[in-house]
């Protein structure tokens, strides 16, 4: 049986409880709400099902590594100690999305660049050349979260934000985000079966 691991599913502010109910319905364990996210435990099947079935999910992230760093040198050193060469190949692409808060890392872009440099330098040391960065459609999307000196590296299993759902190539002016719309419908208590039976009477 496949081991469970922690998953973090992002959503819009105010929809945390709705998202938690959807995830619990899929069999997730130890579900708890955070600000704009829900943490749970599950396996790879659950991760895929959240991505495909949960209407109020924006992103499904899998935490990979936690450590502490108080400056860019510490961050670079610890990221470079991870064996990235086992995680993806030189012919694949990657990108780093960074979010930072606190006094140690005040510029998220610089923190993300530090992580990118550590990864490509490891590939250069091993192979003599490096994988390319692709911010639009990478093979591996890495999320970097830093709060004060606590660093978390996560892998993004969703790719593009799930509210796009891959169907709409062009948008009109200010369409409602599909995740927000799905959440509002669930919060309203609307049930299609109830509406259909009422109309038939």
Asked if residue 133 lies in contact with residue 90, where contact means CB atoms within 8 angstroms, the answer is no
Asked if residue 14 lies in contact with residue 36, where contact means CB atoms within 8 angstroms, the answer is no
Spatial distance between the Cα atoms of 20 and 51, rounded to a whole number of angstroms = 14
For residue 201, the model assigns a pLDDT of: 45
Q: Break the chain into its structural domains and give their ranges.
A: 1-58+171-193, 65-160
Do the strands 94-101 and 140-147 form a parallel or antiparallel pair, or are they unpaired? parallel
Tell me which architecture the domain covering 1-58+171-193 has in CATH: 2-Layer Sandwich (3.30)
1-58+171-193 with 65-160: one CATH topology? Answer: yes
By C-alpha distance, which of 154, 156, 158, 155 is closest to 66?
Answer: 154
For residue 42, the model assigns a pLDDT of: 94
Please tell us whether the domain made up of 65-160 is placed in CATH 3.20.20.70.
no
For residue 165, the model assigns a pLDDT of: 52
pTM of the model: 0.76
Cβ partners under 8 Å of residue 158, min gap 6: 51, 57, 58, 59, 60
For residue 19, the model assigns a pLDDT of: 93
pLDDT < 70 regions, the chain: 1-2, 160-201
Spatial distance between the Cα atoms of 136 and 141, rounded to a whole number of angstroms = 10
């Amino acid at each position: 049986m496949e081991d469970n691991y922690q998953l973090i599913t992002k959503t819009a502010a105010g929809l945390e409880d709705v998202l938690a109910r959807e995830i619990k319905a899929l069999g997730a364990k130890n579900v708890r709400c955070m600000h704009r996210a829900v943490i749970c435990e599950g396996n790879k099947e659950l991760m895929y099902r959240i991505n495909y079935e949960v209407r109020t999910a924006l992103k499904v992230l899998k935490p990979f590594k936690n450590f502490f760093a108080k400056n860019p040198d510490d961050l670079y050193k610890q990221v470079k100690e991870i064996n990235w060469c086992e995680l993806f190949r030189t012919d694949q692409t990657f990108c780093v999305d960074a979010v930072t808060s606190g006094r140690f890392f005040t510029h998220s872009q610089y923190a993300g660049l530090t992580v990118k440099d550590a990864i490509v330098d490891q590939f250069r040391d091993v192979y003599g050349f490096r994988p390319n960065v692709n911010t639009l459609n990478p093979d591996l999307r890495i999320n970097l979260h830093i709060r004060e000196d606590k660093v978390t590296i996560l892998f993004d299993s969703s790719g593009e934000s799930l509210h796009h759902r891959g169907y709409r190539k062009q948008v009109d002016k200010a369409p409602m985000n599909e995740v927000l719309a799905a959440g509002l419908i669930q919060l309203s208590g609307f049930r299609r079966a109830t509406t259909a039976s009422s109309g038939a009477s």
